[in-house]
Amino acid sequence: MKSLGEMAVGTTARVKRLHGDGPVRRRIMDMGITKGAEVFVRKVAPLGDPVEIAVRGYELSLRKADAEMVEVE
């Protein structure tokens, strides 16, 4: 399993599955990060938190813990 938090800057991947449950999962889905969505990693802060991504035409920042819940392929 490869997570969004493990992706290198400048790479694109497709969301395979969301892990976790409750309000955190709902917040991730509300951002447009759902199964099949294409995600581009724009930038990662020096300590790995936050991860800046582009998805569905929007630029977003995710906490590393949230990015680890997104499985990509």
Question: Over the chain (73 residues), what is each successive 10-residue block's mean pLDDT?
Answer: 91 95 90 95 88 94 92 95
Q: pLDDT value at position 13? A: 96
Q: pLDDT value at position 46? A: 86
Q: pLDDT value at position 73? A: 93
CATH of the domain at 64: 2.30.30.90
Q: pLDDT value at position 11? A: 97
Q: How many domains does the chain have?
A: 1
| Domain housing 49 | 2-72
Cα–Cα distance for residue pair 47/23, rounded to 1 Å? 25
Edge to edge, the sheet with strand 12-18 lists: 2-3, 70-72, 12-18, 38-44, 51-55, 58-62
Enter the pTM of the model.
0.88
